[in-house]
């Protein structure tokens, strides 16, 4: 179920069942609004070393914090919002052209990410000023 809590932060709640332990299920199209081409996970992150700090031109992602916690900072060029994820059944939709940063992770944190595209270094916008100018150019065209 895709829950629209605000325009920018979209929480995706996936089913959690108990069967001698918990099991959470993400699948297209029920709760993942794109075909999954890639899955990766991040662990053993260093405290005080934020991750992310980029946006994607095309790639859409859903990020789950399946262990520990992470503070997610999202920015679409007009609006900035933050949320702390610590519940394995709550994913956050990282749409294309959303600048995102992952903060306050530690060695216990595990992030599971579902991505709509294969890895492509050219899909990254790593310069914040460039991101802002691309977003405002897109707005002017609309």
Between 35 and 74, how does the x/- string for binding to ligand TYD read (CB under 6 A)?
Answer: ---x-x-x--------xx----------------------
Distance CA 8, CA 94 (A): 9
What 8-state DSSP symbol labels residue 124?
E
Q: Does 125 bind ligand TYD (CB under 6 A)?
A: no
* 100 catalytic per annotation: no
C-beta of 53: minimal distance to ligand TYD in Å?
Answer: 7
Q: What distance, in Å, lies between the first and last C-alpha atoms of the chain?
A: 29
Grouping H, G, I as helix, E, B as strand and the rest as coil, residue 129 is helix
Q: Does 119 bind ligand TYD (CB under 6 A)?
A: yes
- Which residues participate in catalysis according to the annotation? 54
């Amino acid at each position: 179920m895709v829950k629209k809590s605000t325009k920018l932060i979209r929480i995706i709640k996936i089913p959690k069942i108990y069967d001698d332990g918990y099991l959470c299920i993400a699948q297209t199209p029920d709760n993942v609004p794109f075909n999954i081409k890639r899955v990766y996970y991040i662990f053993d992150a260093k405290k005080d070393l934020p991750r992310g700090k980029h946006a994607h031109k095309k790639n859409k992602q859903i990020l789950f914090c399946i262990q520990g916690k992470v503070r997610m900072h999202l920015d679409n060029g007009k609006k900035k919002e933050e949320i702390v994820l610590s519940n394995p059944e709550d994913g956050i939709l990282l749409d294309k052209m959303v600048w995102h940063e992952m903060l306050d992770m530690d060695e216990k944190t595990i992030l599971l990410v579902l991505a709509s595209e294969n890895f492509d270094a050219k899909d990254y916008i790593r310069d914040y000023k460039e991101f802002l100018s691309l977003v405002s150019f897109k707005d002017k065209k609309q």
